[in-house]
Structure 1
Amino acid sequence: MADLIAWVLVLAVAAYACAGGTDYGAGFWDLLAGGAERGKRPRWLIDHAMGPVWEVNNVWLIFVLVLMWTGFPAMFQAVFEALWLPLALAAIGMVLRGAGFGLRKPTRRLAQRRLYGAVFAVSSLLTPFFLGAVLGGIASGRVEVGTTASADAWANPTSVLTGLLTIGAVAFLGAVFLCCDARRFGADDLVGYFRLRALLALAAIVVVALIGLPVTHGDAHYVWHGLTRGLGLLFVLLALASGAVTAVLLLRRSYRWCRYTAVAGVGLTVFAWGFAQRPYLLPTSLTVAQAAGASATLGWLVIVTLVAIVLVGPALVLLYWMDTHGELESLTDADTGAAPAPGDNL
């Protein structure tokens, strides 16, 4: 049962990543959209694309925390003792991101919209970095039971590279999602706008990954060994193939399947990390068996997980289906034209 819960945990992390992390992957592009006039149309699309789904993805994050806390209490304690600072900063970023996004849309004054937009965009950049830094600290073996909090646990080469890769992944997914949404909404110029940014984000991921190869070899050798052999390597190759297919589809302007191939690339990367790290939850000090809670607790956790999947899973699938098929919110001509709202000049 411990192994089953561990793989459900990996699956939940993959689901969280595949939906664009904390903000549908759009916050990065909101930050780089430019000034009020230049960035008005991309931000309109970001607001409408995120509107129906921007908080739904946090269900997966809560699910991850519940699985860790209940199923692997020793791991939960070790991670939160050693990495409380980046986790706290990520949590603060989530709160500020939600506040900035929620307050920007109804605000009419341009200065206030800029302030709330900046809070949303910067928080959306920092949150995935700190979450990635936490994963890097774990993968590099710097977190053990009894490890005290220190900057080295999360401000190390592997953590920095993982944080940058996490930003790149959510930016890549966000650009692909927004490219498809722009096509669905009929905003043809924004299709090309986000298509270019998806390709640039994918190129950035490749560059950071290549830089990370020699770094992880020396700094996170156990995980590097797992990524270059066996099932870890197989999933890495499948992730690379998915990324390559996505690039080809974007270059050919064939958008029907690029959303799915992009999601597959990110999800397969998470599973490659899971296979590379096994049988450890904290390489190389705490295995899945050592970290597991009581067998009775794990049994009930399996039952609760199955019930949650049955009750919540179909609702999430329906929500995403309705969103991607334009059943929840559509752009008007005024939206796609980015017409100024009353009070823009105040």
Structure 2
Amino acid sequence: MMADLIAWVLVIAVAAYACAGGTDYGAGFWDLLAGGAERGRRPRWLIDHAMAPVWETNNVWLIFVLVIMWTGFPTMFQAVFTALWLPLVLAAVGLVLRGAGFALRKPTRRLAQRRLYGAMFAVSSLLTPFFLAASLGGVVSGRVAVGTTASADAWANPTSVVAGLLAVAAAAFLGAVFLCSDARRFGADDLIGYFRLRALFAFAAVVVLALIGLPVTHDDARYVWDGLTRGWGLLLVVLAAVCGLATVLFLLRRSYGLTRYTSVASVALIVGAWGLAQRPYLLPTSLTVAQGAGASDTLRWLAIVTVIAVVVVGPALVLLYRLSTMGELEPLTDADTGAARTPGDNL
């Protein structure tokens, strides 16, 4: 019972990171595609100001995921990091370079250095979610088990590739939706249509990749496929699709008030569907939750610490996210919003 509870805490933490961290990765994706120094000036100003208050906080969720894995399910932790050490190292390097690039780009005055740091931030925002999701694809497809040695097949397989591309597309969707609302809050009217159009394109990419992934997961990750196409797993997938379509509808109607919530719900529900589809396994189909769980006393203390964290840290995180989405922490200045307009659409 306690092991199942901690397993669901892990799934919730993964969902939180997929939504919070995914939004930041998506902003970095659009930073990469914003264009040259002059053309990309306006979008990058918005990205800098929208991300600045929360980008470090969002990585707390990843740390929480690692702590739960290491403490609560040490057998799974060892198996995953043994078989998938290379993509996980690449993801970790991407995290470091991404943070350094974002932190150093703003105060740097020289254009060449700004471009270097900006490239570090943007490229890492693309590669990090890809490698993290590719690692998850190796687990989902059953290629990771206790005793599995590291190999390219563990993460460079059809399921991993589709999962990595889906993660990038979903992050781009979240990032564009949030930036669209940020542009509206900050009064950057010319960027509302700019990011609105990109959110619609990103959702289309998610749909195409999901359709491509159907036959791939059917053949390559059959256990999880069965869980996603029946029972509660299927229900959450349907709800995720409804939330995604609702986000598109709100964007088309230029009604941005609920788009953040519906887009986040669509990603969180997909993560929840994965958790339901994979049960009772940590590593399909070789290691169950009960088999991979740590000592009962350890799990009990982990549950207590989790409750304390929710009570003590939870309200602060909610307040931080609330103030950030309301634009209270670091609003754009008149000089920022008066910068040269970016060529693009005004839809």
CA distance in structure 2 between the aligned counterparts of 1:137 and 1:22, rounded to whole angstroms: 23
Q: CA deviation at 1:327?
A: 1.2
Deviation string 1:253-307 (CA, Å, 9 cap, x unpaired) is 0000011000000000000100010000100000000000010111111101111
SS of structure 2 residue aligned to 1:155: coil
User: Counterparts in 2 of 1:17-166, with a 5 A limit?
Assistant: 17-21=18-22, 23=24, 25-166=26-167
Deviation string 1:152-171 (CA, Å, 9 cap, x unpaired) is 00000000000001001111
Q: CA deviation at 1:338?
A: 2.7
SS of structure 2 residue aligned to 1:145: coil
User: Counterparts in 2 of 1:207-218, with a 5 A limit?
Assistant: 207-218=208-219
Q: Point out 4+ residue stretches in structure 1 off by more than 3 angstroms.
A: none
SS of structure 1 residue aligned to 2:35: coil
Q: What is the match of residue 297 of structure 1?
A: 298
CA distance in structure 2 between the aligned counterparts of 1:185 and 1:228, rounded to whole angstroms: 42
Alpha-carbon spacing, 1:11–1:230, altered in 2? closer, same or farther (3 Å): same
Q: What is the match of residue 306 of structure 1?
A: 307
Is contact 2:23–2:172 with CA below 8 Å preserved after alignment? no
CA distance in structure 1 between the aligned counterparts of 2:262 and 2:23, rounded to whole angstroms: 20
Instruction: Confirm or deny that 1:176 pairs with 2:177.
Output: yes
CA distance in structure 2 between the aligned counterparts of 1:326 and 1:336, rounded to whole angstroms: 14
The residue identity in structure 1 corresponding to 2:170 is A
Q: What is the match of residue 335 of structure 2?
A: 334
CA distance in structure 2 between the aligned counterparts of 1:20 and 1:46, rounded to whole angstroms: 14
CA distance in structure 1 between the aligned counterparts of 2:312 and 2:55, rounded to whole angstroms: 20
Gapped regions of structure 2 (runs ≥ 5): 342-347
Q: CA deviation at 1:19?
A: 1.1
CA distance in structure 1 between the aligned counterparts of 2:46 and 2:23, rounded to whole angstroms: 17
Further displaced range: 7-16 or 17-26: 17-26
CA distance in structure 2 between the aligned counterparts of 1:251 and 1:197, rounded to whole angstroms: 12
Q: CA deviation at 1:21?
A: 2.8
CA distance in structure 2 between the aligned counterparts of 1:37 and 1:215, rounded to whole angstroms: 42
User: Counterparts in 2 of 1:241-260, with a 5 A limit?
Assistant: 241-260=242-261
The residue identity in structure 1 corresponding to 2:184 is R
Deviation string 1:204-254 (CA, Å, 9 cap, x unpaired) is 000000001001100000001100001100000000000010000000000
Percent identity reads 81
SS of structure 1 residue aligned to 2:282: strand
CA distance in structure 2 between the aligned counterparts of 1:22 and 1:332, rounded to whole angstroms: 23
SS of structure 2 residue aligned to 1:281: strand
The residue identity in structure 2 corresponding to 1:204 is A
SS of structure 1 residue aligned to 2:24: coil
The residue identity in structure 2 corresponding to 1:95 is V
Q: What is the match of residue 278 of structure 1?
A: 279
> How many aligned positions are there?
340
Q: CA deviation at 1:325?
A: 1.1
Is contact 1:20–1:173 with CA below 8 Å preserved after alignment? no
Normalised by the length of structure 1, the TM-score is 0.97
Q: CA deviation at 1:25?
A: 2.4
Normalised by the length of structure 2, the TM-score is 0.97
Is contact 1:12–1:60 with CA below 8 Å preserved after alignment? yes
Q: What is the match of residue 206 of structure 1?
A: 207
Gapped regions of structure 1 (runs ≥ 5): 341-346
CA distance in structure 1 between the aligned counterparts of 2:333 and 2:193, rounded to whole angstroms: 20
Is contact 2:243–2:263 with CA below 8 Å preserved after alignment? yes
Deviation string 1:137-165 (CA, Å, 9 cap, x unpaired) is 00000000000000000000000000001
Q: What is the match of residue 344 of structure 2?
A: none
CA distance in structure 2 between the aligned counterparts of 1:309 and 1:74, rounded to whole angstroms: 26
Alpha-carbon spacing, 1:91–1:22, altered in 2? closer, same or farther (3 Å): farther
User: Counterparts in 2 of 1:229-244, with a 5 A limit?
Assistant: 229-244=230-245
The residue identity in structure 2 corresponding to 1:25 is G
SS of structure 2 residue aligned to 1:55: helix
CA distance in structure 2 between the aligned counterparts of 1:136 and 1:101, rounded to whole angstroms: 28
